[in-house]
Chain A
Amino acid sequence: MIYAPSLAQIGSAATQSARRVHGRLVFAGAPNFAPTRRFVPSAAGFPPSLAQPGGIADAAYSPFVRVRGEPGVLNAPILATGNAPFDVLHHRNTEDRVLAIDTKKMTVTLTLARGFYNGKPIYYISPDASNPVAATVERATYVPRLAKAQVSATIPIGVLADGPTGATDGQGLRYLTLHTPLRADATLANAAQLSAPFNILSLVPDVAHLYASNAYSPLWGVQVFGAPQRARITSYDAFAALSPKAAGFFVNCPVIAFGDANAAGY
């Protein structure tokens, strides 16, 4: 686990309750992965003409869980429902980021989002969003309850609406919607082609001091800059200098790994 003390401030309205029975969690709510994810870009790419998330949570569900009788808040997104076999091609009982599930090894393979932190590549997952359009774009679960999160439990993430669109320097929502296979279902076969908006993270876990007190949170408050930007932005300081505006929603995006300057796909 990663220590994220500010999650304690998220507020009970944005968490769900659970109890542990024979070692397993029993959640109060759950997502429904049966809807078909649909995304149709507009002529400008974004905002889209249609965005319909493939996973929609019920009113009780949140990935942030308070377990009865246990301290703290866990970030434990539900990624599949029901029993095997799991649909990892069209995601009718799995989240749209799930590429494989091994119920013997008890592992899940997820498509990663790629972004930047302080000029360097960063990898994260994006399993939940409090906004349905963002959930569709991120192949995430739309979680209405997350909208009730306290801002003090979040940190900012930068998104360009109209960034560069080249094959090697693409960034932002226009690039993602018009120049990548965003409409396609994510599978192991097309994972390398899915690309990303290359968002700009303001803070990441300190690998050398993972369990020290810190300001990191996996819950991000989305900041958007809308004017055309013709060069990539890779640091949050540079992004903040553009005076972006708060988008008014949150995404659950835990950082997974750090890349170097030669990372593939950057």
Chain B
Amino acid sequence: MKYFIAALAAALFSLSLGAHARAAEERILPSTLSVDTTNHTAVLPLYRGSAHG
């Protein structure tokens, strides 16, 4: 199994108003769960997949 992070950019996507509003308030972008500006780290969602068929 392979783990990969959220799709961070897309040519096409579905609008998420909830994520939009939260990002504007916290100055972090959608798909980011939290940012630690002291340790310079971010927590992002993870997904499970597989590779090589």
Q: List residues of A whose CB falls within 8 A of some B CB.
A: 1-5, 7-8, 18, 24-30, 61, 65, 71-83, 99, 101-103, 106-112, 114, 123, 125, 127, 188, 191-192, 194, 196, 205, 207-208, 210-211, 217-218, 254-259, 263-265
Given contacts A3-B13, A207-B24, A256-B32, contact A111 B6 (CB under 8 A): no
Q: Does B53 contact A (CB under 8 A)?
A: yes
Which residues of chain B are within 8 angstroms of A125 by Cβ–Cβ distance?
42
Closest chain B residue, CB of each to CB of A83: B1
Q: A3, A217, A265 — which one has the most chain B CB atoms within 10 A of its CB?
A: A3
In the complex the two chains form, is A71's CB within 8 Å of B44's CB?
Answer: no
B: which residues have CB within 8 A of A?
1-13, 15-16, 20, 23-24, 27-33, 35, 37-53
Q: Contact at B3–A112, with CB atoms within 8 Å?
A: no
Chain B residue at smallest Cβ distance from A16: B51
Cβ of B34 to closest chain A Cβ, rounded Å: 9
Q: How far is the CA of A103 from the CA of B45 in the complex (A)?
A: 10
Pair B39/A191 contact, Cβ less than 8 Å: yes
A5/B40 contact (C-beta < 8 A), A28-B51, A76-B6, A79-B46 known = no
A109 & B41 in contact (Cβ 8 Å cutoff): yes
Complex interface: chain B residues within 8 A of A24 (CB)? 47-50
